[in-house]
Amino acid sequence: MQAYPSNEQTPPLRQLLLVEDNPLFAEQITDAMRGLPERWNVLEFSEGLQAKAFVKVALKPFDLVLVDLGLPDVSGIEVIRACRERFVDMPIVVISVVASESAVLTAIEAGANGYILKDESIEEITKGIEQVLKGVYPLSPRLARYLFKHLSVSSEKPEERLPVKLSPREHETLQGLAQGLSYELVAESMGVTLSTVQSNVRSLYRKLNVKSQSQAVSMARSYQLL
């Protein structure tokens, strides 16, 4: 009997960068990733400096980065900053036991897209990871009030902030991001190259003083640019 090749293609292997020094928790996260529909390869580092060095030479962004703040050598904040500087749109989520207001704000300002507490159930953590993969970044409910409080205070006197001036192309790029479009779709809708969109995004991040797409959209709305 002759065998014919199948038309079905094996889904691509997705990449997770896990920076976590607790081997038991790292194993739980790895098991949780195996329970997701996609196939995942988990690249694990227990020290922040090793993770930073690896990210610095990585050729392409990871599909997801999970970072613990309490690492044995450097703060996870340093790892987040290194990841965000290398790849401006890579999903980065904190998973930590630290629940202080300063930690939440510092992580978000460094470029984290979400913040999940370790003392939540593994089911809730898995649900948070699934949200990230859908483009919805989680923030543990009891931490949300810190961020909202900070945003409300920072927006009390918008007249004191210097105005942000965007070029027409930057504004068009921003509108595409606000609609949830990928860089590729933004480039297609604008009739420009992907590298042009990436350059516009870097300029937007610099002008708005942000480190992530969600922060850019939020800040742009506070400036009434959208």
157-193 pLDDT tens trace: 444 556 778 888 888 998 888 877 778 888 898 999 9
Instruction: Find the Cα–Cα–Cα–Cα dihedral 106, 107, 110, 114, rounded to 10°.
Output: -140
> pLDDT for 140-157, tens place per residue?
655 655 555 555 444 444
Residue 6 dihedral angles phi and psi, to the nearest 5°:
-80, 145
Q: What is the pLDDT of residue 204?
A: 86
pLDDT of residue 23: 92
Average pLDDT over residues 204-218: 79
Judged against a pLDDT cut of 80, whether residue 69 lies above it is answered with yes
CA dist., res. 200 & res. 177, Å (int): 11
User: Residue 175: which of 164, 186, 165 has the closest Cα?
Assistant: 186
* Average pLDDT of the segment spanning 87-100: 84
The residues that bridge with 16 in the sheet, in sequence order, are 42, 64
Task: Spell out the domains of the chain, with CATH numbers in brackets.
Answer: 14-152 (3.40.50.2300), 157-222 (1.10.10.10)
Identify the residue with better confidence: 83 or 147.
83
- Band of pLDDT at residue 38, cut at 50, 70 and 90: confident
pLDDT at 62: 94
The DSSP output letter for 64 is E
Residue 118 has pLDDT above 60, yes or no: yes
